[in-house]
């Protein structure tokens, strides 16, 4: 099985939830890229956006990704924008495999409305504005997400399904 498995997809698609379960099932370490950036920077993601801006966040995200490319047997939950900046989709596809967890805008909105995680890109948005924002940003990002090694339906995604996918497609 590939040594580095990157879960990609929009905010709220469930990358961390599934990633933890998948890692446990296949005996890999689980890594959350946002948490690693936060640990390294000594501040939260919203703090980084506020104090340094998105471009600096993307640079630090890239640095973390390069470090992760030296680790073995990891399942990585990436940030929603990770594959869309600084050639990071190419890097992940070269150094491992990527799985795009795809969900429609409406489903993402429902999850994000309920989520407790603070996300600078959607902070303070009310429901109609949020749906419009998701629809538009997702349309921009699809071209990156679609470069994933595999695309799976993120609704009711079962970890076993991912394990089977990884086992039956070992040559990738
Ligand atoms: C972002 C998604 C967030 C985090 C940052 C930017 C994005 O991660 O990296 O707020 O650009 O979509 P999650 O996908 O884990 O929410």
Q: What is the pLDDT of residues 151-167, one digit of tens each?
A: 999 999 999 999 999 99
Is 79 a pocket residue for ligand 1 (Cβ < 6 Å)? yes
Domain segments of the chain as ranges: 4-163
User: pLDDT, tens digit, for every residue of 7-40?
Assistant: 999 999 999 999 999 999 999 999 999 999 999 9
| Cβ(111) – ligand 1 distance below 6 Å | no
Neighbouring residues of 130: CB distance < 8 A, sequence distance ≥ 6: 109, 112, 113, 122
Closest atom of ligand 1 relative to the 77 alpha carbon: 15
Of the candidate CATH numbers 3.40.50.11540, 3.40.30.10, 3.30.365.10, 3.40.50.300, the domain formed by 4-163 belongs to 3.40.50.300
């Amino acid at each position: 099985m590939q040594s580095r498995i990157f879960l990609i997809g929009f905010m709220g698609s469930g990358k961390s939830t599934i990633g933890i379960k998948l890692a446990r099932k296949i005996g890999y370490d689980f890594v959350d890229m946002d948490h690693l950036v936060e640990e390294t920077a000594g501040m939260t993601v919203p703090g980084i956006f506020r104090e340094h801006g998105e471009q600096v966040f993307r640079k630090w995200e890239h640095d973390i990704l390069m470090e992760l490319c030296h680790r073995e047997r990891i399942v990585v939950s990436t940030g929603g924008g990770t594959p869309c900046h600084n050639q990071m989709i190419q890097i992940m596809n070269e150094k491992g495999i990527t799985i795009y967890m795809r969900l429609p805008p409406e489903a993402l909105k429902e999850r994000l409305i309920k989520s407790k995680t603070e996300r600078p890109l959607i902070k303070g948005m009310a429901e109609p504005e949020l749906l419009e924002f998701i629809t538009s940003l997702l349309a921009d990002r699809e071209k990156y997400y679609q470069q994933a090694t595999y695309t799976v339906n993120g609704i009711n995604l079962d970890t076993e399904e991912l394990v089977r996918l990884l086992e039956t497609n070992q040559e990738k």
